[in-house]
Every structure is written in C-alpha cells, then in structure tokens.
A and B are shown apart, each in its own frame.
Chain A
Amino acid sequence: KKKKGKKKLNKLKKKKMTFFIKKKGKQEGEWRYQQHFGDIHCKDVKEEDIISALEFDKEGKYLAIGDGGGRIVILKKNPQVKSTEFQVLTEFQSHEMKFDTLKSEEIPQQIKQIKWVPKVNDSLFLLTSNAKTVKLWKIYRKTLHKVVTQQSPTTGKLEIPRLSDSKVIMAHNPKKEYKNAHEFTINSVSTNSDGETFLSADDLRINLWHMDYPDAKHTIVDIKPDDMKNLSEVITSATFHNTDCNQFIYTTTSGVTKLCDLRTGATCGHHEREFSLKGTEKGFFTETIAAVSDAKFSPDGRYILSRDYMTLKIWDVKMEKRPLKTFYVHECLRAKLYDLYENDCIFDKFDCHWSGDGRQVLTGSYKNTFNVFDVKGKKHYLSECARKLKPKKEANFSLLDYSKKVLRTAWHPYDQSLAIATVNSLYIINGNS
C-alpha cells in the first residue's frame, strides 16, 4: 500500500523539466562550449532525470532526448543563429511505468533508445523504446478549430458549421505500438535504409518489424540456448547499415561484433564476419572489459567503430582479425579495475559515434569527460564538460568522479557539433572554426 501511495506521489511530482540556456563567448582550443540544458549544479540527481537516450535526426535540425522518467524532449536547431544552437520544441511522456503481471516485475519507463524515422511530410516521426515496448510517435503542428456556428434547430435549414482558426499547437500522437515481442530488455532499435522496416534487439534476440504492421515481427537472430545455464553471451547493441538494406551488426558481451546479411537466410544463425581480438591478454577482468557496448557503421559504410570498456576500435568491414586503429580512452583505469568492479562501474555501457564526415570519433568517459579522436590517430581531445572547456593530456579520476558518467553522446550529422549527456544535463559543444 505504501508503495502504491509513493507511486501516486511520483506521478503528481511529474513536473516539467526545467531548462537553462546560457551562452558564453569564444574560447580557445578546438572545441568550445555553446549551451547546456538541465541543472548542472544539482547535487541529488533523481533516477528519472538521468538522460538515457540521445539522437539527432538525419537532417540535423532536431535533437531528441529521452530520460529515466520516460519523457522525450525535442530540441530544434535555432535557424537564426549561425552556430549550432538548440531550443526546446516540445516535450511529452512517451512511456509510463508498467507492471508485468505474468512475471510480476515492474517495467520501468526509462527510454532505452530513440530513432528518427525519415520524414514523410511536415510532421516528425520517431521510434522510442523502453525495456519492452517500441512506440512510433508523430509530432506535428495541429490547428485547433473552434466551431463558430451551429445548426439552428428552429429553421429546419441545414447549416455547414463555420470555423475559426484559433491556434496552432505542437501535438504528439502515438501512431503505433510494437509490443509483446521481447522477453528480455530491449537495448537498441535501428531503422533500415529501405524506409519501411526496423530492428529491435534485446539481450538474446533481434526482431525485425515492418513499420506498418505492429502485430507481426520476425526474429532474425536468436542466441538463446536451450538451457539457460549454457548462456555465454548477451547482445548489447544492434544497428543496420546506413545504405545497404540487408546488412546489420550486433555486439555481444563476449567482445565480438558480428556482421550479418539478411539475404542469406530467413534467420541469421550464421554471421558473415566476426570482428574480435582473441587471446591477446589474460587477466581477471579481461573478459568483462572486453564486452562491446556499442558499435556503429561509418557514414560511408566501410568501417565499423566499436566501443568496449577501455578502448574504442575502428575495424575495416573487410578485415575481421584485427582493428585498423585502437584508441585508449582511459588507460588510467586499468590499475583500478577491482574498485570499478566493486562499484559496478565496470559494467557501464558507453556509446560511440562517428562525425558526419567520418574523420573523427566520439565517446564518453567518467568525470563528465568526452573524448574526440582523429581517425588517423594523430589527435586526441579530451575535456570535462563545463562552461569553459579545459583540454587535458590524460584522464585522471578520483573515486567521486565515477558517478559522473558520460554514457550518451551524439554527433551532429553535418556540423562540427556534439551533444554530450552528463547524467542529468546536456551540453552542446561546437567546433571552433
């Protein structure tokens, strides 16, 4: 009963997210602070305010943010400012906390992933997902009409009602719901270049959906062993190729990135290629830190970027034995793995991104730090997110810094512009050019 009451209270408390937009003048260095959203001084961060998903749309005009409270905030690029700057367009509740009566467990409302669907008209479409359900949302400008005249009942003459345009609002509408298909927790959603299908991946299976048919899904990958005792790996992410409609990759905790081809069979039991480094080093935590947390195709589709706990790797799609480049994100942690295991940080899933031109890559770290590497391996920029960026040579963390994780980042599809989520707030960092 107490819990119920608490839930109700939480619902009442669901107040609007507050945003602060602050600007600052020019700064030295390669990158500069542009603006931030959210309270950066908040000491006691609530679970529901933690940013859990971040995604630019393909044209780079919008940025969607999802958080632990199941809310989606859409930011729109300000066309009046020359540099990449955003303003809030709309926000809405995408997922609510649900209770699975069969398994008797709570399904949290936390947004796992957001994907923009290519535009079909002036409205915006996006797929949002929590642990179990993917939803397709339509965000559009709606004209509210007001009926001015009504039928006059006495005359007996038919009247067409006259309307006045009263006001235009941003409306959001759940178009479709793709549900009851995932036994495990969904970790990623990815749209296909054919414009009509998308995939959703949970811990052990990957499903393929047609956007127009929410009732049917097709399981393309199933790594669930008959006996769960033999479980050796779990899927951590999956994504389609940018242009090739039949290729996709998925990553697992056993340190591999697998490239599959939808053409070979109705179910992709065999993978075409498997990118992994095997047997190079041995250690107590080797397997744990080898788990790949995210992988992305480069914009031209020829390379794959993968992120494991300690490093960022670039692979040539045609060469699976070893990566072209390995970038060390926070080597200083290698000595502290035991501490990180104790406080569970070793299981953090960092994401990774390519720049729009494919020449740089981005990933997060602890202490609100983000890393930008030059693909050729010449430059490494790392800095803490703040009003004034201070580039550093090497990362150095104290025990307190582990709670300030930068798990979610995004790179603008065209501009030299980064979106960095530091727990509950979002920084927009622009290139100095």
Chain B
Amino acid sequence: RTRTEREKKKKQTKHKNSKMSKGNDQVYPIALLIDELKHEDVALRLNSIQKLHFIASGLGPARTRTELIPFIKQTCLDDEDEVLLALAEQLGDFISAVGGVQHATELLSPLESLCMVEEASVRDKAVESLNKIVAQLSGNQVENDFMPIVTKLSAGKWFTARSSACGLCAVAYPKVGNDKQKNLRNLYMTLCKDGSPMVRRSAAKYLGDFAQQMKDDVVATEILPMFNQLKKDNQDSVRLLALDNCAKLGKMVSQNDVVTHILPTIKSCATDKSWRVRYMVAEKFKELCEAVGPTITKDKMVAYYVDLCKDTEVEVRTSAAFHVADVCSKFTSDVIVNNVLPALAQLVKDKSEHVRSSLAKEIMALSAQLSKEETIQHLLPLFLNLLKDEYPDVRLNIISNLEHVNRVIGVERLSQSLLPAIMDLAEDKNWRVRRAIIDYIPLLSTQLGMNFFNDKLSSICMTWLTDSVYLIREAASINLCRLTEAFGSEWCASHLIPKLAELNKRPNYLYRMTSLSAIGNLSSELNKQVVESHIVPLVVQLVDDPVPNVRFNVAKTFEKIIPMVSNNVIMEHIKPSVERLQQDKDYDVIHFASAAASAIH
C-alpha cells in the first residue's frame, strides 16, 4: 500500500471521528490510535503500535499496566512481522510508560513471546529490548522474574526460543547470585551443544559478550570448554563465528591459555577446508593479532597471513589484500619487508583483477609504516607495476591513493610512471573511468606542482572539455575551477583563458556552451580584476551567437558575474549586451536576459 493511500485513509477516518467527538480534542487522537490497534489495515495497526508511547501517556501508567499490556499480550502477538518488529522496539523503551523500574517486569512477558516468533529480525529486536530493560532491573527482579524466562526459553520446544535465550544470558549474569550464575553457565553449555545449528550459531555469536561478564579465572575454566565445543562444529557457519570469539576471548585469558586454546583455533581456521572460514580469518586478522599479542603475532600470525595471501580461492586473497594496511599496522617493519612484501609481489601479478584492485587500494597506505628508503626500495616497484596494470580500476586505485606516498617520498619519483598511466586513463573508452581520473586531477596537480601540470597535464584537461559525453565535459569544467582554486587567478588568466577563447570559436555549439559553463564556474574563483579584463570579453563575444541555447546561457552567465564586477564595466560592456539579448526573438533568451537585467539594478 502506498503512503498516499494510507494518508488518505487516515484522513477519512479522522474526518468520520471528528464529527463524533467535538470538544475532546486532546483525547480524540489517542482514542483513534487505540481503535486502530485492531484495524484491519496493516498500515494503520503499524502506525498505532509505533505511537504506543502516545497511547500509554493518554492512559497513564496504571491503566497501561492493567489494561494496555494485557491487551497487547492477548491480541497483538500474532500480527504481521512489521507490526511485531515495531512492537518489540517500542516495548524496549516502555519502562517509564508503565510507571518506572518497579513495574518494568510487566514488560517481560510480551517480549518473551516475541522472542519465539519465526522472523529473525523480530526476535533480535525483542532480545535487544529485553537487554535494555533487564539492565535497569534490580537483582531481585532479575532472579525472580527474568531468570525463569531465560530458563523457559532455553528449554523451548523450537529453536527460535532457544536461540533467543543465548542473547539473554549475558545481561542477567552480573545481577544474580553465585548459584544462579552457575546455572546460567550450565545452561549456556547446553545451548552450545544444541541439536539445531541455528541455536549453536546464536550461542557462538553471544559467547564473547557472555564471557565479558565473568571473572577471568571463570572464563578460563568454563568459557573455554564452550569455545572448544563450538570451534569443532561440523557446520561452517558455526565455526566462522568462533573466530569472532577468538578475538574477544584472547584479550581476556592469560597468555598460556592463548597459546593452548586460541592460537590452535586460529591455525585450524586459517587452514580450514572451507574457503568461507579462511575468508573470515582474513577479514578479522587485525583483531586476531590484537587478541594474541605482539610476540605471537610476530612468531606465528605473520606466517598465517602470508599463507592467506597465497590462498587458492580468489575471495580469500581479495580479502587478505584488502586488509593489508590494517594487518601490517600490527607487524614490525622488518617483518613487512622480509615476509609480507614478497607475498604482495605475487599478489601484484595475481590473475584475478579483484585481488589486484583491492591491493592497489590499500598498498599505498603501507608506506606510512616503512621508512623512506624501504618504501623506495621495496614498495615503489610494486606501485609501478600496478600502475601498468591492464585493468583500469587497479590503476585508478593507485592514483586515488597517491597522497599516502606523497607524505613519505613525494610523488616526483612516481611522476615518470604516473604520466603514461594518467594519459591512458584519460583516454579510456569507458567514460566512468575518465570521470574518475578527472576527479583526481586537482589533487595530483597540487602534489606534482604547477610546472609539471603546465607541461604535461593541461592539454588533457582541455581535451576533456571537448569530450563526447556531457558528464565528462561538466566534470572538466568543474575541474578547471578546482585547479584555479589551487593555482590562483593569475595562472588561470595566463593558461586557461586563452584556451577557453579558442573554444568560443569552435563551430559546434556544444563546445561553446561548455566554455560558457566553465566561465560561469571559474568566475567565482577569480579576483575582480581578472573577471573584468578576461572573463567579460569572452562572454560578450558570444552575445550574437546563432544558436539560442548559447545566447540564453550567455544571459545566465551575465547574471552570475554581474555581482562580481564594478559598475562601469557593467555599464560599458554588460548592459548593452543584455539589452540586445532582451530584444531577442527567442522567448527563453528574453526570459534569462530580463533576469540578468534585473540583476543589474
């Protein structure tokens, strides 16, 4: 159902009701919402549920507890998923509506029911809301009211209830007594061994959070067995999640436990038969290094990472390449040079362009971790190779990240290789590639310097102005503007204006329009003197253009530059031209000319 329809319907009902309830202005919108809680239209029910706060404020805490909550429990829990999702969210912030924390336990039961629905997003939201509420409850409330719910859910008939239970243990744990804590741990162990992979996945997902609530020695004796249980699961999707826990648990347990429990898991995952598991290792590698600490990272993890770079599966190598900068921030520079860079040298020649392209994106950032000499000696050859890649994305990624290198060694060393690469991309037959390279030109030019630009790049910038694709021409004119911003008005007057003047004489009117749009853009960056002496004559040149589109663009450009020039220039040059345009035969030209004329006054 579209929104307009919904609104229309709402209006109709509003209209109907407003006739009946005159004088009850405050009560009536709430009454309407209450009625619509059971409306047959889902959109209206959803609207009512989303405004449950409003309803509760009308009823007051006491009636909310005794009437609204039971009503919801009785009738609203078998609704459509979107309504349930809204309800689960609302109930999480409902403590004040039922009259404060002492009554908050009223909310537990409807949320418990929502923890059992089949739609995962609703269950997750209900778990989230329960966590919010329970965090505010007192220890007594948790023991007497919340614990039975967790126990009941964890023994539920269907996996939905049991998997929700996994997410509720952590919040209850610190609020209950020792024996109840032991119960919770036992209960969690049972969930880790559940028959349904869905429950085991959920247990694996929340294990880290659960462990964080415990004392370190308990983690070692009680959580590690759970962890060991999950990491040898026969379902890939469960093992995947064990890695997350490696990262979290590693920080909590002693170095000994890391060596005996965490490290073997990382090792087995890094060599797992399933590419998905290895992919996750590559994705989480930085966190894993943090978890095991610097010594083990140097001794063991480096080798795992190098293996991932040589993986047989493209996706794994792509991920390894993509995280190279992150991961190397955990390695020392000699390790990077001796171990990682040889592996990267292979990736530079990888047969998948996705691998090379994600490597190109990240490899530049490595220079920050190496000295200037190391960068020049080891990294530079890799950059140069990637700059010659046959796949445009790879080259683009290198060029777009030049700033990293600039900080360490300056771009000059690259300039010899950069230029052919830029030229190639500038003429790529895919216009999106051309567009992308244009965006980097201002940055490149400032890094390479004005002279380099004038010598090598200015001509392609001008070629773009005559590109066959409009978007490129437009980007080119904006590009000129940004260059002027960088190099100043004088440079613009001496280098750009003459070239624009040439464009003005081109027979194709589209080029003349491009020139005008460039002029319009440029004028805001230039100082008054340059505008008066160079820009105005250029525009005036085109007043008598045979094509009306050019003429009304002239009028538009006048309107733009009028505020920037002094009065006598306006009177002398612009005003006569504008007046002439106002006499034009074309309506559009007259329209824009009058707009310009009013700008003069």
A interface vs B, CB < 8 Å?
119-121, 123, 125, 138, 142-143, 145, 147, 150-151, 153-154, 156-161, 163, 175, 193-196, 212, 244-246, 262-266
Per-residue interface assignment for chain B, residues 118 to 131, with 1 indicating a CB less than 8 Å from any chain A CB and 0 otherwise: 10110000000000
- Given the complex, which residues of A lie within 8 Å of B160, measured CB to CB? 120-121
* Least Cβ–Cβ distance between B438 and chain A, in angstroms: 33
Contact B21 A156 (CB under 8 A): yes
State how many angstroms separate the Cβ of A169 from the closest Cβ of chain B.
12
**Chain B residues positioned under 8 Å from A153 (CB to CB):** 17, 20-21, 24, 28, 31
Q: Could you tell me the distance between the alpha carbons of A175 and B81 in the complex, rounded to whole angstroms?
A: 9
Question: A266 and B314: CB pair below 8 A?
Answer: yes
Residue of B nearest to A243 (CB): B234
Contact in complex: B38, A163 (CB < 8 Å): yes
The reply to whether A160 and B17 contact each other, CB–CB distance below 8 Å, is no
Mark each residue of chain B from 173 to 205: 1 if its CB lies under 8 Å from any CB of chain A, else 0.
000000000000000000000001110000000
Contact with A along B61-90 (1 / 0, CB 8 A): 001000110010011001001000000000
Residue B274 is within 8 A (CB to CB) of chain A in the complex: yes
Of B71, B81, B275, B276, the contact of A160 (CB 8 Å cutoff): B71
Task: Name the contact of A121 in the complex, choosing from B38, B116, B276 (C-beta under 8 A).
Answer: B116
Decide if A263 touches B235 in the complex (CB within 8 Å): no
Known A-B contacts A121-B160, A153-B21, A212-B120; A158 and B30 likewise in contact (beta carbons under 8 Å): yes
Query: How long is the Cα–Cα vector from A251 to B23 in the complex, in angstroms?
Result: 74
The answer on a CB contact under 8 Å between B75 and A145 is yes
A160→B68 contact, CB < 8 A: yes
A266 touching B275, Cβ below 8 Å: yes
Residue in B closest to A212 when the chains form the complex, CB atoms: B120
A5 to B117, CA, bound (A): 44
Q: Tell me, in angstroms, the Cα distance from A159 to B67 when the chains sit together.
A: 9
Q: Do residues A145 and B38 form an inter-chain contact, with CB atoms below 8 A?
A: yes
- Provide the main secondary structure of the chain A interface: loop
A156 near B74: Cβ-Cβ < 8 Å: no
Kindly list chain A residues whose C-beta atoms are within 8 Å of the C-beta of B273: 263-264
Residue of A whose beta carbon sits closest to that of B161: A121
Whole-angstrom distance between the alpha carbons of A196 and B198 in the complex? 8
* Neighbouring B residues of A175 by C-beta, 8 Å: 81
Other-chain contact of B117, A119, A121, A195, A212 (Cβ < 8 Å): A121
Q: What are 30 A-B contacts with C-beta separation under 8 Å? A: A119-B158, A120-B118, A120-B159, A123-B118, A125-B118, A151-B31, A151-B32, A153-B17, A153-B21, A153-B31, A156-B23, A158-B27, A158-B31, A158-B58, A159-B31, A160-B34, A163-B74, A193-B197, A195-B197, A212-B120, A244-B234, A245-B236, A262-B274, A263-B273, A263-B275, A264-B313, A265-B314, A266-B275, A266-B313, A266-B315
Q: What number of B residues sit within 8 Å (CB to CB) of A?
A: 48
Closest A residue by C-beta to B274 = A263
Which residues of chain B from 460 to 509 have a CB within 8 Å of any chain A CB? Answer: none
How many angstroms from the CA of A159 to the CA of B272 in the assembled complex? 62
Q: From residue A137, how far is it (CB to closest CB) to chain B in Å?
A: 12
Task: Check B30 against A245 for contact (C-beta < 8 Å).
Answer: no
State the Cβ distance, A211 to closest chain B Cβ, in Å: 9
Interface string of B262-303 (1 = CB under 8 A from A): 000000000011111000000000000000000000000000
Q: Are A156 and B237 in contact (CB under 8 A)?
A: no
Nearest CB in chain B to that of A162: its residue: B71
For the complex, is B35 an interface residue (Cβ under 8 Å from A)?
A: yes
Q: Which residues of B contact A142 (CB under 8 A)?
A: 78
**What residues on B are CB-neighbors of A156 within 8 Å?**
21, 23-24, 27
The residue that A264 contacts in the complex, of B20, B21, B68, B275, with Cβ under 8 A, is: B275
Q: Complex formed: what's the CA distance from A411 to B307 in Å?
A: 48
Given contacts A120-B160, A265-B313, contact A159 B34 (CB under 8 A): yes
Task: List chain A residues, Cβ under 8 A from B197.
Answer: 193-195, 245
Q: Name the residue on A nearest B163 (C-beta).
A: A120
Whether the pair B236, A246 counts as a contact (CB closer than 8 A) is: yes
Residues of B within 8 A of A194 (CB): 197, 235-237
- Closest-by-CB residue of B relative to A161 is B38
Residues of B within 8 A of A157 (CB): 27
- Least CB distance from A198 to B in Å reads 14
A154 to B58, alpha carbons, bound, how many Å?
17
Task: With both chains docked as a complex, state the minimum distance between the C-beta of A142 and any C-beta of chain B, in angstroms.
Answer: 7
Residues in A whose Cβ lies below 8 Å from that of B158: 119-121
C-alpha spacing A121/B198, complex, angstroms: 14
B71 — nearest CB in chain A belongs to which residue? A160
Q: A145-B75, A150-B35, A160-B71 are in contact. Are A245 and B275 (CB under 8 A)?
A: no
Question: Is residue B59 within 8 Å, beta carbon to beta carbon, of the partner chain?
Answer: yes
Bound complex: CA A266 to CA B278 (Å)? 12
Q: B37 an interface residue at 8 Å Cβ cutoff?
A: yes
> Contact between A158 and B120 (Cβ–Cβ < 8 Å)?
no
A151 CA / B28 CA spacing, docked (Å) = 9
How many angstroms between the C-alpha atoms of A121 and B157 in the bound complex? 8
Decide: A263 and B118 in contact? CB cutoff 8 A: no
Residues of B within 8 A of A163 (CB): 38, 74-75
Give the residue among B32, B78, B312 with the most A Cβ atoms within 10 A. Answer: B78
Measured in the bound complex, the distance between the Cα atoms of B121 and A175 in whole Å is 13
Tell whether, in the assembled complex, residue B196 and residue A195 are in contact, meaning their CB atoms are under 8 Å apart: yes
What residue of chain A has the Cβ atom nearest to residue B160's Cβ?
A120
Bound state CA distance, A71 and B514, in angstroms? 61
User: B524-553 interface mask toward A, CB cutoff 8 Å, 1 = contact, 0 = none?
Assistant: 000000000000000000000000000000
- Complex contacts, A147 vs chain B, CB 8 Å: 38
Report the separation of the CA atoms of residues A160 and B21 in the bound assembly, to the nearest whole angstrom: 17
Q: Give complex CA distance A264, B275 in Å.
A: 6
Give the residues in chain A near B313, CB-CB below 8 Å. Answer: 264-266
* A196 and B68 form a contact (CB under 8 A): no
Which chain A residues border B235 with CB–CB below 8 Å? 193-194, 245
Q: How far in angstroms is the closest Cβ of chain B from A261?
A: 8
Residues of B within 8 A of A245 (CB): 197, 234-237
Shortest B311–chain A CB gap in Å is 10
B55 (CB) vs chain A CBs: closest residue: A158
Which 3 pairs between the two chains have the least Cβ-Cβ distance? A263-B274, A153-B20, A153-B21
Nearest Cβ distance between residue A268 and chain B, in whole angstroms? 11
CB distance from B104 to the nearest CB of A (A): 21
In contact, A195 and B198 (Cβ under 8 angstroms): yes
Contact B59 A246 (CB under 8 A): no
Give the chain B neighbours of A193 by CB distance below 8 A: 197, 235
Could you say which residues of chain A place their CB within 8 Å of the CB of B272?
263
**B312-335 interface bits toward A, Cβ cutoff 8 Å, 1 = contact, 0 = none:** 111100000000000000000000
How far apart are the CA atoms of A212 and B272 in the complex, in Å?
26
Among residues of A, the one whose C-beta sits closest to the C-beta of B198 is A195
Name which residue of chain B comes closest to A143, CB basis: B78
A197's closest neighbor in chain B, by CB?
Answer: B237
Q: Which of B112-159 contact A (CB under 8 A)?
A: 116-118, 120-121, 158-159
Task: Flag if B118 contacts A138 (CB, 8 Å).
Answer: yes
Chain B nearest CB, measured from A285 CB (Å): 41
Nearest CB of chain B from residue A297's CB, rounded to whole Å: 16
Beta-carbon nearest neighbor of B18 in chain A: A153
Interfacial chain B residues near A158, Cβ < 8 Å = 27, 30-31, 34, 58-59, 63
Q: Using Cβ atoms and an 8 Å threshold, which residues of chain A touch B67?
A: 160
